[in-house]
Amino acid sequence: MNRSLLLGFTPYAVLVVGIPFANSTRVVLGMPMLLLWITVCVAATPVFLWLAARSLPDDEK
């Protein structure tokens, strides 16, 4: 259960902690770095939640 909680919390923590570091005027892939950072974090969230659900034992699902 601890692993699933950690996997579920990871996208939120990366998003919140990374915003000050990604806040710059650089343009990457045609987007400002901050917009790219938020987009990648939001797109990765379902993957992390899927991994968290798969790491739960069968009796806790």
The tens-digit pLDDT sequence of the chain (61 residues) is: 688 888 889 999 999 999 998 888 889 889 999 999 999 999 999 999 999 988 887 765 5
Counted domains in the chain? 1
Between the alpha carbon of residue 60 and those of residues 6, 19, 44, 57, the distances in Å are 16, 34, 24, 6
Q: What pTM value is reported for the model? A: 0.77
pLDDT given for residue 1 in this prediction:
65
pLDDT given for residue 61 in this prediction:
54
pLDDT given for residue 10 in this prediction:
92
Determine, yes or no, domain membership for 39: yes
Determine, yes or no, domain membership for 61: no
DSSP 8-state class, residue 29: T
Domain that holds residue 18: 2-56
